[in-house]
């Protein structure tokens, strides 16, 4: 359960990611989407590798914080889609989460 003021932290490890032979770096397109009630409410696209925190020849770690500001209390789904431009492989993951503002209501009633 998250408050709208909390960031939603995403941590993902990927293995056997392709690397560009000239830069020895991965070339990924990562899309982070928050959906609710059947529609996309937020979408963040990382084309530059800003969410890549670690890369070795075998393992890549993605870390991203997503703002929940403006989301109403309710159930949501986080979807992460990764496209590896070198190997032409794709991966999609999703996980549900909830936003509640009970603490905010308690604080404002004082």
What the chain holds in terms of domains, given with CATH numbers, is: 7-108 (2.60.40)
Mean per-residue pLDDT for 23-42?
A: 96
- Contact (CB, 8 A) for 78 and 34: yes
Whether 109 shows a pLDDT value over 50: the answer reads no
Mean confidence (pLDDT) of the chain: 92
Q: Which two structure tokens, joined as six digits, stand for 28?
A: 């990924």
Could you tell me the pLDDT band of residue 102, with boundaries at 50, 70 and 90? confident
Whether 106 shows a pLDDT value over 80: the answer reads no
Mean per-residue pLDDT for 1-30?
A: 95
């Amino acid at each position: 359960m998250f408050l709208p003021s909390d960031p939603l932290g995403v941590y993902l490890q990927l293995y056997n990611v392709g690397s560009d032979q000239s830069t020895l770096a991965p070339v990924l397109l990562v899309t982070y989407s928050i959906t609710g009630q059947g529609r996309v409410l937020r979408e963040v696209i990382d084309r530059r590798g800003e969410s890549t925190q670690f890369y070795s020849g075998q393992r890549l770690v993605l870390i991203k914080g997503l703002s929940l500001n403006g989301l109403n209390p309710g159930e949501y789904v986080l979807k992460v889609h990764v496209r590896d431009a070198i190997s032409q492989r794709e991966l999609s993951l999703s996980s549900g989460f909830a936003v509640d503002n009970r603490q905010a209501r308690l604080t404002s009633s004082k």
